[in-house]
Amino acid sequence: MLRKVLFWGVAVVFPLPLVLTYNTLAVEPEQLRFYVTLGLTAYAWWLLAIVLSVRPPWLERLVGLPSIYGLHGMLGVLAIVLAYVHRDNSYSGSQLAILLGDWSFYAAVTVLLFSVFFLSGWLVDRVRLLLSAKRLLEKVFHHQLSVWVHRLNLVIVAMIWLHAHLLVRVNQYFAFMMLFDVFTVAVLGLYVWKKWIAPDTYLTATLVSNQARGGSSRRLSVELDHAAASIRPGDFFFLRFEGAQAVSKEWHPFSVTDDDQKTLSFTIRQHGDFTRRLTDVSVGSRVRLEGPFGRFESIVRKQDADAPLVLLGMGAGVAPLLSLAAAHHTTRNIHLLWAVRDPQDAYYRDVLARYQASSDNRMHVTTKVGRFRRDDLAELLPADAVRNGAFFIVGPNPAVLANQRLLRKIGVSSRRIHQERLTM
C-alpha cells in the first residue's frame, strides 16, 4: 500500500522542478503565474504519462502493470482538467500560440475519450452494453488502430512544446526554457530508446512448437537463446515475432505456463487479429521477449508458509496459475479452480492431474465447464482458505471483476485478492 502511495506521489514531485523554477523566475502577476503553473503541471503530467508507457520492468516488479497503466490513465484525465482551467483563464498576443493551445487541447480530449473507450477497461469492463459496442466497433477500429490513435499524444506534446516556446510570458526566462527543453528531450529520448533501441537488448528465442489446444487456443513454446535467471513463476512477457509474415510486429503480453527457465510455453486464446494469425507462425520463427514482468511470485513469498493459495483461472487465464502450481504444488496447499467454456477447452487436465498426484494431497483441482457461482465457491473452498488464503484470479476483465465480487461475498477480504486481467 505504502509503495502505491509513494508511486502516486511521483505525480506530485515530477512537475515540481518546472513549476518551482518558473515561479522563482517569473515576475508576472500572481494570478497569471497560477494559470501558467496549471498549464505546466498538465504538460509535466503528459510527459510523465509517456515515461510510464515504457513500463520499466523494475517499476512493474514494484507496483504491478495495472498500477502503472492506472496512473498513466489518471494523469491523462487530470492533465485535461488542468489544461481546461489554464486555457479558459489565459491570454496571449501570439495567434499561433493560441491556435496550438486550442488544437492540442481538443486533440487531447478526443484521444482521451477514444482511449478510455477502446484501450482502458474503465467503462467497458463494467457496462456490458458498452463492451458489446466496443467489440462491434473493433471490427472497424482494430485494436492496433486504437494504439496508433493513442500515440497521437506524442504529436500533442510536440504542439504544446511549441505553444510554450511562442509565449513571451515563459520564453523570456532562459533558465526555465532550458529546463523545459531538457525535460521534453529526456522523456521523448527515453521513449525513442525504449521503442527502437532497447528491443535489441531483450531476450531472444526460437519457436520450437506451435500446437492447437481445445477449440480456440494454442500452446506456443519458445527456446531461449540464453536462459534467464530472473524469470519467476506466474511471470508474463511481451512477445514480438521477428520476420514472421503471418503476424504484425506489435508486442503482445502472454503469461508463462510452467516453470521451465529455458523453454518457455505460452497458452494463447485466439480471439483477435494478432492471436488468430498465430496459427500460421511456423516453428523456427524468431521471437523477441520484453520482460519478465509480474508480481504473483513476490506476493506468494510474502504469505505465511501454511496459508493456502487459491488459484482461480478463466480459460487461458490458467496459464500463470499453472506456472505457480508447477513451482509450489509440493510445498504449499493449493486450490486450483479452472472455469472453461466447453469440455474440449479443459486441455490441461492431464498436467493438473500430474501436479495433483505428486503433491502429497496438498493440491486440489476443480475444473468446471461454465463460470463458478457463489455456491460453488462456498462449497469448494474450505474455511481456512477463505479466512487466510491468498487468492489469485486471472481471466478476461469482466470475469475477474465478477469473481472478485463473489469472493468478497463469501468472506474473502479484498486485501488477499490479487488479479491479472487479460486486457489492458
Ligand X SMILES: Cc1cc2nc3c(=O)[nH]c(=O)nc-3n(C[C@H](O)[C@H](O)[C@H](O)COP(=O)(O)OP(=O)(O)OC[C@H]3O[C@@H](n4cnc5c(N)ncnc54)[C@H](O)[C@@H]3O)c2cc1C
Q: How far is the CB of 208 from ligand X (least distance, A)?
A: 18
Q: Which is nearer to ligand X, 36 or 319 (CB)?
A: 319
Q: Which is nearer to ligand X, 288 or 362 (CB)?
A: 288
C-alpha cell at 270: 485466439
Residues within the interface to ligand X (CB under 6 A): 65, 138, 143, 236, 252-255, 266-269, 271-275, 316, 319, 420, 422-424
Q: How far is the CB of 255 from ligand X (least distance, A)?
A: 4
Q: How far is the CB of 347 from ligand X (least distance, A)?
A: 13
Q: How far is the CB of 122 from ligand X (least distance, A)?
A: 12
Q: How far is the CB of 195 from ligand X (least distance, A)?
A: 14
Q: Which is nearer to ligand X, 285 or 333 (CB)?
A: 285
Q: Are 192 and 157 in contact (CB under 8 A)?
A: no
Nearest to 356 by CA among 370, 383, 335: 335
Q: Which is nearer to ligand X, 271 or 371 (CB)?
A: 271
Question: 60-69, long-range: CB within 8 Å, 24+ apart, which pairs?
Answer: 60/293, 60/294, 60/295, 61/293, 61/294, 61/295, 61/298, 62/3, 62/7, 63/3, 63/4, 63/7, 64/295, 65/293, 66/421, 67/4, 67/7, 69/120, 69/424
Distance (Å) of CA 238 to CA 74, 203, 293: 23, 11, 9
Q: Which residue is nearest to ligand X (CB)?
A: 272
Q: How far is the CB of 220 from ligand X (least distance, A)?
A: 10
Distance CA 157, CA 151 (A): 10
Q: Which is nearer to ligand X, 167 or 235 (CB)?
A: 235
Q: How far is the CB of 270 from ligand X (least distance, A)?
A: 7
Q: How far is the CB of 357 from ligand X (least distance, A)?
A: 25
Sequence-distant (≥ 6) Cβ neighbours of residue 254 within 8 angstroms? 236, 237, 239, 266, 267, 268, 319
Q: Are 406 and 315 in contact (CB under 8 A)?
A: no
Which stretches does DSSP call E strand in 294-342?
309-314, 334-340
Q: How far is the CB of 303 from ligand X (least distance, A)?
A: 21
Q: Are 142 and 118 in contact (CB under 8 A)?
A: no
Which stretches does DSSP call E strand in 297-403?
309-314, 334-340, 363-369, 390-395
Which stretches does DSSP call E strand in 180-329?
203-213, 217-224, 236-242, 252-255, 263-269, 286-293, 309-314
Nearest to 71 by CA among 85, 56, 84: 56
Q: How far is the CB of 91 from ligand X (least distance, A)?
A: 42
Q: Which is nearer to ligand X, 49 or 381 (CB)?
A: 49
Q: Which is nearer to ligand X, 37 or 115 (CB)?
A: 115
Q: Which is nearer to ligand X, 118 or 191 (CB)?
A: 118
**C-beta atoms surrounding 314 within 10 Å:** 24
Q: How far is the CB of 152 from ligand X (least distance, A)?
A: 18
Three-state secondary structure call for residue 216 = coil
Distance CA 424, CA 421 (A): 7
Q: Are 290 and 200 in contact (CB under 8 A)?
A: no
Sequence-distant (≥ 6) Cβ neighbours of residue 15 within 8 angstroms? 40, 41, 44, 45, 48
